[in-house]
Structure 1
């Protein structure tokens, strides 16, 4: 029987979110969700027409390959993608799982750039593939040493898997770094598999690996910067027709197709994606300014990455394990942040730049908690 690791992040964070103690939720990664009413106010679409169409919606299976309107709109998020190169899935996790199970075999080795989303190392390991980890350099701003990737790659390397912007740090590869990584992959005929869930928060166009490499497969979803996690629309971009057949085949075993309502309402957002991005940037940038000032004033906190996503990974100089730090913070102060052990980075926590209820009060309570730990002699002298 195939065994897979406990999904640390989801198994810890989701129950914590549901806890009655969770009064100040600062642990999420999705930009503040929209209501249906807000979506229509933002886009200028007619809600009356929407509900009239809803009355007559056929609730049978949608098209297997996905709603044409949605696939066309998604293809426009990239420079070199056609609608038939878009595969719709059930959420971003569905997209990532489909790619891993369809492509990776036990005889392969894969390179996982850490920190990473757990699907991109635990699923390959459960299949029996050899896992080769390359760590981002913390004090360099969570930058990638491409020479380490080159040294890890060989003729049996099936794929290089990572997130860009990175989850949880928000660091990004420059276009030059992306091109160099493509050359490394080409040299061993490996796939680049990139989770781009947080792509799109920059004012200027953020390059995608789908723009740069025929053997790139990228995934994304409606969850993070689109503020519509409940619609459960994920997608895979794949240029190679034969590989798309394999991906569709695996998805048939998993979910068959997407949800007709989900794809339909998400297409409305995509038709006005500039307005969605503008809203997300405004929310993230406002919260980022508050959190930057907060970290700057606290001598026990550090944030190293030039973050382009919706979260920071904050390092703390306190002799308390990350999970205990966050458990006690929730228990004692009602503040929920995500512990860094979920990403195998001790003495850290992930904090949202986006979905934050009463942000400043939550930050004040974290300061209060840290002051109490310092008074107990928990401070680490550097």
Structure 2
């Protein structure tokens, strides 16, 4: 690797120079701690820690391994039983009912972010609206997928509510998605029904 970050590779006397994308690298280097504490000081949100797994969850994983029934790749969107269970759970509160095939189970939020943003990447003029601050993987994945990003501010003095004027100003005819994180990560707040209705 050259000192400038480029990768030089020689094959058959031809030098190939592969250049990294500094914008993607910079976006991926942003941490939640730096993002939140660097921008908001005294208004920094509480730290969230998932903690150790529940003993019941550990036993369920161990039982699945011992059974020999989970020793292969599952379907990409999840097993039919898992998708049915999620749909049934959510249908208790939804006016329009989900079918199991409406559910897509991912291996964590990063995979979900990647699938969602990649699905929006077909139109080169498309943009998505992201809150500021936001979990940094949204920015990095949007850059990687070639989706333009527009930001709308969260207001720390109002418990990190969305700045509705900034949200409206950021949207245009090429806006294909609005990312709304509730409960919010990294801020930890939960929006009221009235605020969500205004959004």
Smaller-chain TM-score range?
Answer: 0.5 to 0.7
Structure 2 residue 98 is the aligned partner of structure 1 residue 74: no
Distance in structure 2 (CA, Å) of the matches to 1:52 and 1:127 = 36
Counterparts of 1:220-231 in structure 2, within 5 Å, are none
**Is the 2:28–2:137 contact (alpha carbons within 8 Å) kept by the matching residues of 1?**
no
Kindly indicate whether the alpha-carbon contact (under 8 Å) linking 2:120 and 2:147 is maintained by their aligned counterparts in 1. Answer: no
In structure 2, runs of 5+ residues without a counterpart are 1-18, 35-45
2:135 corresponds to which residue?
117
Other-structure match for 2:52: 33
CA distance 1:129–1:62, shift in 2 (3 Å) = closer
Partner Cα separation in structure 2 for residue 135 and residue 154 of structure 1:
16
Contact 1:134 1:149 in 2 (8 A): yes
**Does the Cα contact within 8 Å between 1:120 and 1:161 map onto a contact in 2?**
no
Question: What is residue 102 of structure 2 aligned with on the other side?
Answer: 85
Q: Under a length normalisation based on structure 2, what TM-score does the superposition of the two structures give?
A: 0.66
**Pairwise CA distance, 1:125:** 3.1
State the alpha-carbon separation in 2 of the partners of residues 117 and 33 from structure 1.
22
TM-score of the two chains, using structure 1 as the length reference:
0.37
- The residue number in structure 1 matching 2:38 is none
Give the C-alpha shift of residue 53 in structure 1: 7.7
| Distance in 1 (alpha carbons) for counterparts of 2:161 and 2:118 | 28
Number of residue pairs matched? 159
Alignment partners' CA distance in 1, 2:185 and 2:131: 11
Partner residue, 1:95:
112
CA deviation after TM superposition for structure 1 residue 157, in Å: 0.9
Deviation at 1:109, TM superposition (A): 2.0
Cα deviation per residue 1:8-63 (whole Å; 9 max; x = unaligned)? 228x9xxxxxxxxxxxxxx963432225xx2169xxxxx69x74882332512223
Q: Deviations over 1:272-295 (max 9, x none)?
A: xxxxxxxxxxxxxxxxxxxxxxxx
In the alignment, the residues of structure 2 paired with residue 152 and residue 120 of structure 1 have an alpha-carbon distance, to the nearest angstrom, of: 17
The Cα shift of 1:136 comes to 0.7
Match status 1:174 vs 2:192: yes
Q: What's 2:39 paired with?
A: none
Say if 1:160 and 1:57 are closer, same or farther in 2 by CA, change over 3 A. Answer: same
Give CA-to-partner distance per residue, 1:119-142, whole Å, 9 cap, x none.
222322344433221111111221
Cα deviation, residue 161, structure 1: 1.7
CA contact (8 A) 1:65 1:87 kept: yes
Cα distance in 2 between the residues matched to 1:111 and 1:173: 17
Aligned partner (choices 160, 166, 172) of residue 178 of structure 2: 160
CA distance in 1, matches of 2:194, 2:64: 49
How big is the shift at 1:87? 0.9
Superposition pairs of residues 1-382 of structure 1, within 5 angstroms? 3=21, 4=24, 5-9=27-31, 29-35=48-54, 38-39=55-56, 51=63, 54-75=66-87, 76-78=89-91, 79=94, 80-104=97-121, 105-181=123-199
Contact 2:83–2:101 (Cα < 8 Å) also in 1: yes
Q: Kindly tell me: are residues 2 and 102 of structure 1, through their superposed partners in 2, closer, same or farther at Cα, counting changes over 3 Å?
A: farther
Q: In the alignment, which residue of structure 2 is the partner of 1:212?
A: none
Three-state SS of the structure 1 residue aligned to 2:105 is strand
Q: Contact conserved, 1:116 with 1:162, CA < 8 A, in 2?
A: no
Shift of 1:7: 3.5
